[in-house]
Structure 1
Amino acid sequence: MTDQLVDLRRSCTGENLSQAVPAVRAVLHELPDHRRERVVAALRGEADARGLFLPEAATEAQRTLECLVFQAATEAGGHLQLRPPASMLRPAHPFRAVEPHEVPRLHLAEHALGPLLFELLPRHEDAWVAGVAGLRVRRHPRSVELRLAGVPAAVLLAGVDERAWQVGMDYVRRLIKGRGLSDRFAEGPLSQAERDQLAEFPRPGGLGSALLRRYGLFTGAPWLRSWSHGAQWWLEWPESLGVVGVADRLRHPVVGVPGLRETSGEAGGLRLTDGWYELGLREVAPPDPANEEALAAVEWPEGVTGWWEPPHVVG
């Protein structure tokens, strides 16, 4: 049973065995016999044991932060597509694994830190705040802690040392400079501009947190896009994973989202709800491999990507 539970969890989180096995064994060790029997029945599809082996965020504040990180992650994918040589077929995901602890540990894909920081770090522009208003960063020797000012919630970006941080921030600064944007990063308590922006544009809620904790479901597709409005989310990716397969795993009786079920149809896709929040899933036409060579040959102007470099002058 342990092996089956580990495999199910890893299919959602992307964790390696050394991360997933202890987490599953710790839960099993604490379960009384009658709850173990329920897990066995759930593995047969005859009961519901969701929330045990892939836990959800425990508080509303934690869910909110994780929703914001998930949204920024799907935006960061667009940057990764433009990393030279640009490609619509190469996987463009910022995370390779998520450990869904009380404070999630996110393991970054190669080259992903800069694009993710560009989407996350709040900056004061003339009349608005770019990035995630209220987000604050606390650096540790081997990780970066993401927090919201004045809110008891946190997410860890694992494996980010001083050198990785500098490489990531170099990307951010190049892109800011190329686009002529402000480099006045928000720090400390919420600024008035951040308060005003949050009053006009509330932070997203809903199932984004559950999706972040199951990001591994989507890494088999070249990219993932997300949109949110209030407590509603929409996801799309190019044809590859199958909407039904993803939905089945999101509703799985062991590693699925508690209470999630299918509801009225989504045009060209599928809609799920847990009774409070809704999620739309759909696949779109896949990229054409015939376009890859031309895309890779494009010389992007300054400001399009943080990997831009000035042209070499031949003497």
Structure 2
Amino acid sequence: MTPKFLQDSLVESRREFTGEARSEAAPPVKSLLQAMSVADRRQLEALVRADLSAAVRGDAGLPDLPNHVRQVLLPDCRSVAQQELEAGLFVAAGAAAQHLCFRVPADIARPARVIRGVEPGCAPDFLPTVHLEPFALGPLLFELLPRSLDDDEVSGVPGVRYKQYQRSVVLFLADDPQARVSLAGVDRQHWKDAWTFAACSTGEPQSWFHRDERSKITRDEREYLDSHGRVLHSPPALGSALFRRAGLFRGLSELRVLGGPTEQRVIWSKGASCSDIASRLLHPLFGLPATYRKDILGSLSFAVLREDVEGVRATRLLLSRDESADAQLRDEFREQVHGWHQNPWRVWEQRRIKQITRRQTQQGRSLAEVRASYTGEELASAVKGITSSGQIGLDACSEAQREFQALLAVYLFNAGQTAAPPEQTRVHTLTAYNLTVSPRHDELVISTNAPDNLVNWLVPRPSSSCGVPGMRVRSWPNDGTFRLVHLPTGGQITVTSREERDVDSVGDEQRLARDWFTSDRDVTRREHTALAAIPPMSPGITRLLSALVVRICAKHPQHKWALGTWSWDPLKRGKEPGGGSPGDFGGVERYLWGAHDDWELRWDGYPFPSDVAAALTDTVVGLDGVQVTGTDTAFTITLEDATIRVQHWSTLPSTGWEDEQ
């Protein structure tokens, strides 16, 4: 076996357990191989030949590797204080994963990961460095840093303090500063953002001990330590060993870490089987310390490992994949999602928005330029949409305008053989044109290369069934600008081929040039009947449908998502949603229908469903308070008590509105 092959095999096996980068795992393995005796090397080669991916400690034919070799390959902690700190981090990471499920787009089934990898460190102290997943620092601080509760209890890990460096943070114990763990890649701004989340998560002012004593342990913490110990839910040595093997637990859904002084329980609902995880933890090279043996092994949903030390009370590790708890967890999750206004992620998101806009302004970009980079508006048009309080303003419209825009959504998002009745008006044809939408407080300005054609589809005429019932031409200032008003709601649209002018009059000769209904004509009986057939909408649904309309042609400035008027892909990704090639779909198919606070939206072709979710939850132009839960192609949009069930037609059998009546 060549030295290069042996080294690469060991490095890749270690990375599976620790989650490290290759550059972090390779040096200690290389040093070990260079200093290893011939006998130890032969034993190591025999283990590698035995297929490390399937090896389990105690298997017949596997040689016993000396403990000093294992301790270099993946060292375990021996200091009690260090074990307590690392076990506390492991328990806190398990609890923090639940918080990440509420981050936009909220999804209880998402593998919410806190720890990306752990570098066990180098001799002589082997102090670890932790690499966190994005967004994980705030929830981790909330679960880890000690604070007082109303009933004289202590939440978090007593004695934990921190020291900030330029690009990292070192966590340590105030009563034993030699116990330390480094958090890599955490600068001052990252820490400040994370602390915003942690402080808001408490819901009310509480005493954080690290603020009272930065380097000493408080009296309350000392009393709690004396009566309960530092870590309630984990045996320190076992919790520390699992922490250093955190890479094994990535990808497990709804991970929870529970236990007591002599028992550790790790529970999840989806992911690898218990027998798989248990087998990896008994790996002859990188598994738990050699004192652990299998107790119950081989079950998909349950496994037990036991420490076998003579004269010492056995410590047990219980692994459980509990799929029966999945439904209950999802119900609890939905209830909490509806309480989004209390969710600390909202405060965190608002802080990020302010930082983004502040940074862009400092770089010479105004708020209007930021808005225009998403909407495609001319800068002069974007300026008119910015609110007086300095907000982007996509959803800051009057109630009358919002009601009209929600109604317009019903006409835009019904098309084809599977559509609801509003499809007959053919208003959805607007989305085939090249549009730029500029939402204002009391009107929707649409710029296009064919304004008179758009008016043909929007405004009813005596000889046509097209148009939004109740829509009228209010004025026609010039050949390229048309001002429309919706009589029943009072909502307004300006359709223009150029920068709109503040003109509010129309000449008779222009009015007679077309047979559009004008604002001096009352709503007809036929229009009243059509409008009465539109289902009622709750305030939340009204906001959601209006938000879809004003973002109908929005695009992320860094090309992360694009809606393309629901007819094409501005990012030119070379494929259709659902996996087809561009042009695979025939006619346009869209379906939007429901009642009160429960609606359904389906379509084929563009846009990608994930782009719709991203547009509504974007940190800069997203709709405030919205939640998205589900998969990339089938999800639920939630706002207050309102929900829209979204599904792309590529994942559905062909069913239409008529079949559901």
* Structure with larger RCO (C-alpha < 8 A, sep 6+): 1
Distance 1:199 1:157 in 2: 28
Aligned-pair CA distance for 1:38: 2.0
Distance 2:336 2:261 in 1: 40
1:175 to 201, 209, 215: 201
Aligned-pair CA distance for 1:52: 3.2
C-alpha contact (below 8 Å) 1:51/1:258 kept by paired residues: no
Distance 2:257 2:338 in 1: 28
Aligned to 1:22: 27
The answer to whether 1:219 aligns with 2:257 is no
Aligned-pair CA distance for 1:63: 1.2
Aligned to 1:38: 43
Amino acid at match of 1:69: L
The answer to whether 1:2 aligns with 2:28 is no
Aligned to 1:242: 273
C-alpha contact (below 8 Å) 1:91/1:222 kept by paired residues: yes
Distance 1:54 1:155 in 2: 16
Distance 2:298 2:96 in 1: 26
Aligned-pair CA distance for 1:116: 0.4
Amino acid at match of 2:92: A
The answer to whether 1:150 aligns with 2:175 is yes
Aligned-pair CA distance for 1:274: 2.3
2:95 to 47, 68, 75: 75
The answer to whether 1:98 aligns with 2:131 is no
Aligned-pair CA distance for 1:104: 0.7
Query: Which stretch of the first structure deviates more once superposed, 13-22 or 278-287?
Result: 278-287
Cα 1:297–1:183, aligned 2, differ >3 Å: closer, same or farther? closer
Aligned to 1:139: 164
Distance 2:321 2:91 in 1: 18
Distance 1:306 1:58 in 2: 38
Residue aligned with 1:227, SS? strand
CA deviations on 1:15-45 (whole Å, 9 max, x unpaired) are 1211111221122222121111221233325
Aligned to 2:63: 47
Residue aligned with 1:207, SS? helix
Task: Provide runs of 4+ in structure 1 moved above 4 Å.
Answer: 264-268, 294-297, 309-315
Cα 1:21–1:184, aligned 2, differ >3 Å: closer, same or farther? closer
Amino acid at match of 1:141: Q
The answer to whether 1:164 aligns with 2:190 is yes
Q: TM (normalized to structure 2)?
A: 0.44
Aligned-pair CA distance for 1:240: 1.7
The answer to whether 1:274 aligns with 2:285 is no
Query: Which stretch of the first structure deviates more once superposed, 121-130 or 106-115?
Result: 121-130
Aligned-pair CA distance for 1:110: 0.5
Structure 2 unaligned runs (5+)?
A: 1-5, 56-61, 309-313, 351-394, 399-661
Query: Which stretch of the first structure deviates more once superposed, 186-195 or 42-51?
Result: 42-51
Task: State the superposition RMSD in angstroms.
Answer: 2.6
C-alpha contact (below 8 Å) 2:113/2:251 kept by paired residues: no
Aligned to 1:111: 135
Distance 2:293 2:396 in 1: 59
Cα 1:181–1:96, aligned 2, differ >3 Å: closer, same or farther? same
Query: Which stretch of the first structure deviates more once superposed, 58-67 or 242-251?
Result: 58-67
C-alpha contact (below 8 Å) 1:94/1:112 kept by paired residues: yes
Residue aligned with 2:268, SS? strand
Cα 1:154–1:10, aligned 2, differ >3 Å: closer, same or farther? same
Distance 1:189 1:183 in 2: 15
Aligned-pair CA distance for 1:266: 11
Structure 1 unaligned runs (5+)?
A: none
CA deviations on 1:233-285 (whole Å, 9 max, x unpaired) are 01111232111111111001111112221125799511102224210111111
CA deviations on 1:30-65 (whole Å, 9 max, x unpaired) are 212111122123332512334331111132221111
Cα 1:306–1:27, aligned 2, differ >3 Å: closer, same or farther? farther
Query: Which stretch of the first structure deviates more once superposed, 109-118 or 119-128?
Result: 119-128
The answer to whether 1:262 aligns with 2:262 is no
Aligned-pair CA distance for 1:118: 0.6
Aligned-pair CA distance for 1:295: 4.4
C-alpha contact (below 8 Å) 2:77/2:237 kept by paired residues: no
C-alpha contact (below 8 Å) 1:42/1:48 kept by paired residues: no
Aligned to 2:154: 129
1:306 to 317, 337, 344: 344
C-alpha contact (below 8 Å) 2:257/2:265 kept by paired residues: yes
Count of aligned positions: 309
Aligned-pair CA distance for 1:111: 0.3
Distance 1:314 1:194 in 2: 52
Aligned-pair CA distance for 1:296: 11
Aligned-pair CA distance for 1:308: 2.7
1:62 to 61, 74, 82: 82
Cα 1:297–1:265, aligned 2, differ >3 Å: closer, same or farther? closer
